[in-house]
A and B are shown apart, each in its own frame.
Chain A
């Protein structure tokens, strides 16, 4: 089993959608939320994803395709 720590940043139009629930249900990924800040117009959630490497990668791609920004919890790693 693999684990990934990621940050989801939601645009306003996706705040009310159950993205994390659907991620867990559709891709057999266990989601474990550690920190979050969600308001009416924006939101972010820091969570751990646990599952097979393939399921996690497919799940992350699906979340990204919905319009959610997915980043490593450590922020951008590629530096100048």
Chain B
């Protein structure tokens, strides 16, 4: 059973039926899912959640899905107390939300599981996305599981190695001979002219709700309390705003005492339209041309940029942009202290966290959660030149001892 009542325009509040729509017909602003929170409050308690299976569907009443759920068998991901990293940064209560451990190794499995379930409910035979990495992996894998045809649009100049983790699941990969903006425009047209479930276009209101589980899980794992600080990588801004929304829903339902979290945007300096707007004191996002190694979050014209800025304001949070060098250092620091190999967006988060602690924006007055949303195994080239060289020896013990002596 679903508790969804309607879609609502985030700008003009017009209501729409629960269909595959994402844009208000009047003002062209984004649509948002609305729920019957009164009924959810009766059906969902800490006890009922704690008695549910250890996966994202334990929060199903707060997700826009019915009962025929599509997933890849993933679990609630670990919230790791990061004592070693915390000690280095000067934080007693630092946690890593490790979303590398999703079935296709990124947080996209949350949003795609929701949108794929919805795609089946709407009767789509074909699902699609435009992605250079994590989203394409997840959509292709979920479509295989759901028995749906999948189309994945990518720029034609994307390295072949990036396609393997998608192509293995058997989707139709469409390589578009054009730049990033041209791929964007083509996909928008394809979505308008085909009866397909385009997960981040016409299914976007449902898709984006999956990110709320990052708030629910963290709150439950902290013993039903909101973190004092959250540091989140920002691309479109959707996940950032949905974590905030999710915490708000828990507060509204009485599942946590109060949503006291200060939300921090972290972006790469080479693609930081949200940080730039925040620093300029404006809510107007100026689109930028991305130029960073953090490609998984390199969105120059973020769909939810305005709402991300609003979340910063509402939560009394902030925004940080870090250089590519800091990103690499951040990846290494997390790996060497906590044994977690994050993709570049994780390096962005750790580098931002370091700066926020150093500047005093994050203090030791409550738990800080750093969201690590994808695995470093997918972006190994980013750190290839920053690793300690191997010790090369002859196959003899004396050679080994000699080399070890020099090494130490």
Chain A complexes with chain B: yes
Give residues in A with beta carbon < 8 Å to B: 3-5, 9, 34-35, 37, 42, 44, 46, 48, 60, 69-80
Residue of A with least CB distance to B29: A35
Task: Add 5 more A-B contacts to A69-B301, A71-B301, A78-B299 (CB < 8 A).
Answer: A5-B28, A9-B286, A46-B27, A79-B129, A80-B133
On whether A69 and B130 interact (CB within 8 A), knowing A35-B28, A74-B204, the answer reads no
Give residues in B with beta carbon < 8 Å to A: 22-23, 26-30, 129-135, 153-155, 180-181, 183-185, 187-189, 192, 200-201, 204, 235-236, 284, 286-287, 295-305, 345, 374
On whether A74 and B26 interact (CB within 8 A), knowing A37-B284, A60-B185, A79-B135, the answer reads no
Contact of B201 among A9, A48, A70, A74 (CB under 8 A): A74
Q: Shortest distance in angstroms between A33's beta carbon and chain B's nearest beta carbon?
A: 10
Contact of B184 among A5, A37, A44, A76 (CB under 8 A): A76
On whether A71 and B28 interact (CB within 8 A), knowing A76-B302, A79-B135, the answer reads no
Q: Shortest distance in angstroms between B77's beta carbon and chain A's nearest beta carbon?
A: 18
Residue of A with least CB distance to B191: A77
From A3, A35, A48, A77, residue with most partner B Cβ within 10 Å? A77
Distance, CA A74 to CA B30, complexed state (A): 7
Query: Which residues in A have their C-beta under 8 angstroms from that of B135?
Result: 79-80
Contact residues of B: prevailing secondary structure: mixed
Distance, CA A7 to CA B283, complexed state (A): 17
Does B236 lie within 8 Å of A78, measured CB to CB?
no
Query: Which residues in B have their C-beta under 8 angstroms from that of A77?
Result: 130, 183-184, 187-188, 200-201
Distance, CA A62 to CA B316, complexed state (A): 43
Distance, CA A19 to CA B184, complexed state (A): 22
Q: Shortest distance in angstroms between B211's beta carbon and chain A's nearest beta carbon?
A: 12
Query: Which residues in A have their C-beta under 8 angstroms from that of B287?
Result: 9, 69, 71
Q: Shortest distance in angstroms between A78's beta carbon and chain B's nearest beta carbon?
A: 4
Does B184 lie within 8 Å of A71, measured CB to CB?
yes
Contact of A75 among B189, B192, B236, B284 (CB under 8 A): B236
Query: Which residues in A have their C-beta under 8 angstroms from that of B153?
Result: 78
Query: Which residues in B have their C-beta under 8 angstroms from that of A35?
Result: 27-29
Q: Shortest distance in angstroms between B287's beta carbon and chain A's nearest beta carbon?
A: 6
